Structure formats: C-alpha cells, structure tokens
A = this chain, B = another copy of it.
C-alpha cells in the first residue's frame, strides 16, 4: 500500500477501498451565496464566479477551458484543483462523468443533468424549494444505482463556489457545532464572514442553531443543490452494493448527515480528501466526520506538493485551494488502484500537466 495514502481508521480500511475499476463523478453546482463579496476566491472577478464550476468541468475533459478564455488559475499561477483531478484520472485511466446539479453556466461537455436550478443566496431567501431537494435525491439515486452496476467504487467530487459557507449553515442549523471548523480555499478561512452570513440566513428564516431536525429541511433553507445530489448518488450506489467515496472537504459532512438521517448502512462508505484538508489547522474535517459518522473512515493523501518546483503547486501545501473537484479522492483512487502510481510518479505527471496547461497558457498570453 502507498505511504502517500492514510486513513483515520487504520490501514486496513485502505485495502477495503482499493478498486481496480473506480468511476469518478464530479457534481457541479452554484449558489448565489457566492456573490457575497469576500466569501470565495474561486473566480478572479465577481462576475467570473459563475464560470468556476463549468471551467473546472471542461478542464477535466480537455485540459483547457472553453467557457472562459483565460486559464483556470489565479493571476499568480495557483491553478484549479481540477489540475490534480485530471492528472489522477489520466494516470489511473479512470472514467469520469460530470453531473450538473444547478450550475448557472453550462460547460461544453456531455453533462448528466439532474434538472435542478441554481441555489439562492441564503442571506436573502431559502436555498431551494423542497421539491428540488427531493428531485436531486431521487434523480441522484437513480443515477447512483446505474453507476454502481458499472463500477465497484463510485467516487463523488464537487465544484461549487462558496460551498463551505452553505455547508456551515446547514450543519449549524442541525445543531452540529461547525463554526470555525469548515474549510476554505484561502490559507485562513474567513470564518467571521461565514459566521455572519450564516447568522443572517438563520435570522431570515427565523430559526436558531439546532432548531432544524431534518438535514433535508436544513438544505432547503440554507444549503445548495450539490448537497442532496451527492447524497442521492451515494445512496443509490450503496443500495446497489457498491462502495462510495465522498471526495472533498468539510462539505462532505452534510452528505454524511443526510445518509445518517435516512439510516443508510455506511459500511462501504468513506470520505477521501487531501492531506492539506485532513491536517488543516484552520478547519476540522476529521472531527466533523467523527462526530456525524464515526464508522466512516477519512482517507487522505499526501501529494508532496511542498516538494514541487512550481510555486503554483507548492501553494496547495501552503494553504491555498487545498482541495476541490474531488482532487484528493481521485488521487487516492488512482493510487490505491495501481501500485505503480507512486508519489514521485504522480508529482512528475502533475508538474507536466501544469506545464502543458497553466504555464503554456500564461506564456502564450504573455507573448500575444
């Protein structure tokens, strides 16, 4: 077993989630909550935020974006985590399907639609109607069943700007003490701003922390369309006898709480993330998972980005971006599925991918 991959519940659980034919899915979505100034660094300018998820999805398939002319990276070269995901999928020859749960801009790819609208700004109104929560769960479940017939492990990643803020709101509404424990794409999570948004949303809805008993109701009030879609796909795949990896950061806690509430057996379920999230001092994914579903292992992998020659990649180890687009889960799936994909090999491939996409685009921009 790779030294790069660890598990919160011991190395035996790694063996359980090793798969020769995993399938990777990424749920792209949108919440107008992301339009609150300062809440996300996804998207260089405010009007660009809506392009974040579709750009990620296009990058997965093409290694470049069609919906935006620019590179999916900050001006100083910190790339989208989709770069890691794409590297993992290519190294592991892992098939990928993108699921649309209410993204605002549609990527130019074949896209599995769940027929959902974007989520609302939770400061101003309910996130989504209960009928949309139900449809996300129902359609997700139908899809998850089919995916589990195709593969013994379904990895479910996500891309939604401001998703940690809506996750915080849902967890707090459910009475889970999540304040100062959700992640961020910034080195220091803007916890105060997130808490303020959550307080405003709860005041709007007239509820207090712990007032909401049902995760589905909490999602309708304060969540986003990604959440029930992820829970639905997971439930469907588990019900078909498949293994499931929720691939991401603290937002996974919401999907866990839905599955727990529904009484879904979680023996074949894990969370997969990067070490940069699992060991993050500004958030607490391990604690949240333990609190909601102690039997579910948190798998995480060390991508050795601190050793990279590329400052843009080293930034991940320094607290920027850290996770997203299922980067950690895809890397774990690739490594556990094939012993030949060592940490060194992965880093080499990642740097090559960085050169051919991000650096090449910066150079052609500079020379034009």
Residues of chain A touching chain B, judged by Cβ–Cβ distance below 8 Å, are 21, 23, 61, 93-97, 99-100, 106, 108-115, 135, 139-140, 142-143, 146-147, 149-151
Question: How long is the Cα–Cα vector from A93 to B149 in the complex, in angstroms?
Answer: 8
Q: A23-B150, A150-B23, A151-B150 are in contact. Are A139 and B95 (CB under 8 A)?
A: no
- Shortest Cβ distance from A142 into chain B, in angstroms? 6
Q: Which residues of B contact A61 (CB under 8 A)?
A: 142
Contact present for A146 and B95 (CB under 8 Å): yes
Q: Which residues of B contact A146 (CB under 8 A)?
A: 95-97
Add 8 more A-B contacts to A97-B146, A100-B113 (CB < 8 A).
A23-B150, A97-B112, A106-B115, A108-B135, A109-B139, A109-B142, A110-B112, A113-B113
Q: Which residues of B contact A96 (CB under 8 A)?
A: 146
Contact present for B109 and A112 (CB under 8 Å): no
Q: Which residues of B contact A149 (CB under 8 A)?
A: 93-95
Q: A61-B142, A142-B61 are in contact. Are A150 and B109 (CB under 8 A)?
A: no
Question: How long is the Cα–Cα vector from A150 to B114 in the complex, in angstroms?
Answer: 21
Contact present for A139 and B112 (CB under 8 Å): no
Q: Which residues of B contact A97 (CB under 8 A)?
A: 112, 146
**From A61, A95, A139, residue with most partner B Cβ within 10 Å:** A95
Question: How long is the Cα–Cα vector from A142 to B151 in the complex, in angstroms?
Answer: 19
- Shortest Cβ distance from A113 into chain B, in angstroms? 5
Chain B residue at minimal CB-CB distance from A114: B110
Question: How long is the Cα–Cα vector from A111 to B106 in the complex, in angstroms?
Answer: 14
Question: How long is the Cα–Cα vector from A112 to B114 in the complex, in angstroms?
Answer: 9
- Shortest Cβ distance from A100 into chain B, in angstroms? 8
Question: How long is the Cα–Cα vector from A23 to B23 in the complex, in angstroms?
Answer: 14
Chain B residue at minimal CB-CB distance from A62: B142
Chain B residue at minimal CB-CB distance from A97: B146
**From A21, A100, A112, residue with most partner B Cβ within 10 Å:** A112
- Shortest Cβ distance from A131 into chain B, in angstroms? 12
Question: How long is the Cα–Cα vector from A61 to B145 in the complex, in angstroms?
Answer: 11
